[in-house]
Amino acid sequence: MSDHPSPAAGSLAGIRVIDLTRVISGPFCTQILGDHGAEVIKVESPGRGDVVRSQGNMVNGFSWYFAQFNRNKRSMTLDLRQEAGKAVLHRLLENADVLVENFRPGVLAKMGFDDETLRARYPRLVVGRINGFGSTGPYRDRPAYDFIAQAMSGFMGVNGPADGEPMRAAPPISDMVASQNLAFGICAALVRRERSGQGDIVETALTNGLIGMMGYLAAEFFATDRVPARTGNDHPMLYPYGLFRASDGEVAIAPSNDAMVERLLRALGMLHLLDDERFADNARRMANREALRACLTAMTETRSVDAWIDHLNRAGVPCGRVHDLRETFADPQVQAQQMRIELDQGELGRIPVTGFPVKMQEAPAAVHHPVPRLGEHTREVLAELGFDDGELKALEAQGVI
């Protein structure tokens, strides 16, 4: 790590990350680190590389799915099944700050990179790993994907309508949450290393990440020993809070306390409902939710979504339209926040991806490198490690790179 990285280059400038991950959990983590200035070297298998390179909609032979998770990286190919490939990885780690992997527990150890070896040879190295269930416990060796994590974490069990089946979240939320957790854990370990000189091994798991997000649902279960019921778009502990029909669609309304409920009812011209014993407090509103829904819907159906959004926001009541993605990225607020950016991929043109959710004034996230082609930087990276042309040709002849 350099002593005085330039703030303009990002908060993690000077940090070198060796990225052995593929698909989503892991690549999203290392992209976050790269967005904030870390130098990320993505190590891929020769020939095919990360499987996501050939998945999703291809534009001019290029996967935009892959682009979503792999900006701000350099790509090199390396066959870690060969001893010569493992030797190259050791050379990479000599100058690295962070190693990130998402193999099943024990796979990296079988390659010769067990925790004891990494600690002994690279005491300042921060090792980050993501797996399905954690590296201990009876499920450690089970394969896991987002759908399984959503199911087994309890997350799916609390989503969906009360009279319907459990429902998954559409985005790969467990992969994304685990990646964000790992990025945070790596940064925390780097801060500690600056004080102690000692690296660390940081692990997150898809299932654990979603369990950690259960929030007040877990708190209520712990307090009552009752499994939370599925409530669809209704809040499990507050009412009125959810979707309400307008004359031309649905409006999301979210008053989160009694004062805000009073503000909502005043804006609707229905303050008298608080005099009805069925709706006098939140507990009774929850018990009589359907009756209150009928009263409120009779009013909200009289005006358009836009009219209610304007009226309720002026009254200080949180509300909004349910957007599809086209509407989301056309929204002026989203555009002002630059949550859609474009990567200049040269001959492939400009590729849109989601922007940076963390905004920093002194060292903002930025695009430092476009999405790399498979193995685009292999020779460049190895030359930086001191490999000469003869050694590179020998590695190529052996199929190591």
Identify whether the C-beta of residue 371 lies closer than 8 Å to the C-beta of residue 343: yes
Identify whether the C-beta of residue 67 lies closer than 8 Å to the C-beta of residue 353: yes
Q: Which helix (H) or strand (E) holds 43?
A: strand 39-44
CA distance 10 to 360: 9
**Crossing angle between the packed helical segments 258-267 and 305-314, to the nearest 10 degrees:** 120
CA distance 69 to 387: 29
**Other Cβ atoms within 10 Å of 142 Cβ, number:** 15
Identify whether the C-beta of residue 29 lies closer than 8 Å to the C-beta of residue 179: yes
- Across the chain, which distance is largest between two alpha carbons, in Å? 87
Q: Is the peptide bond before 171 cis (omega within 30 degrees of 0)?
A: no
Identify whether the C-beta of residue 380 lies closer than 8 Å to the C-beta of residue 74: yes
Give the single-character DSSP code of 261. Answer: H
Closest by CA to 124, choosing from 89, 100, 97, is 97
**Other Cβ atoms within 10 Å of 268 Cβ, number:** 23
CA distance 340 to 326: 11
* Catalytic residue status for 306: no
Distances (CA, A) of 295 to 156, 227, 231, 242, 250: 31, 29, 19, 14, 16
Q: Which of 97, 175, 200, 234 is the catalytic position?
A: 175
Give the single-character DSSP code of 227. Answer: P
**Other Cβ atoms within 10 Å of 263 Cβ, number:** 18
Query: What is the residue-wise DSSP string for 68-81?
Result: TT--S-EEEE--TT
Identify whether the C-beta of residue 358 lies closer than 8 Å to the C-beta of residue 33: no
Q: Catalytic residue positions?
A: 175
